[in-house]
Amino acid sequence: MFLGNVDVAIANVAAPSIRAGLHASGVELELVVSGYTLAVAVLLVLPLVLGQEAGWPAWTPACLAASVLAFGALWAVERKVSARGGTPLVDPRLVARPAVALGLASQAAAMAVYSAVLASRAWAWAPCSPRCSGT
């Protein structure tokens, strides 16, 4: 939930430049921000939350793959905006800097380790199913 709020906060901070770039009114801009938030929630978070409980049906990897494709499309748009001299939400040249890339990679590694620790603790505390108890 926190990261979803961070995305909305970033989009709202960038709202003036988005409004100028899209030539959109405040209401239209709010629809863009809401649509972005909904797409992130549906494509990325929903399969991760409901996938295991539902037995990992085919829609879970499809949604996760779609979220990767959507991010790739967003990145392509950001690169095009930057190449034309516009102001992208996330400047690709910033991510190409070694210090920023190292910071992002270390943050991703730290979050992966933290998530693995939480998951392993959750599995260790989960009640044993009848199948594993031999009854």
Instruction: Write the pLDDT tens digit of every residue in 75-105.
Output: 787 788 788 887 776 778 888 889 988 998 8
Instruction: Write the pLDDT tens digit of every residue in 40-87.
Output: 778 888 888 888 888 889 998 999 898 888 878 777 877 887 888 877
| pTM strictly above 0.85 | no
Name every residue whose Cβ is closer than 8 Å to that of residue 77 and which is 6 or more positions away in sequence: 88
Residues in the chain: 135
DSSP state of 25: -
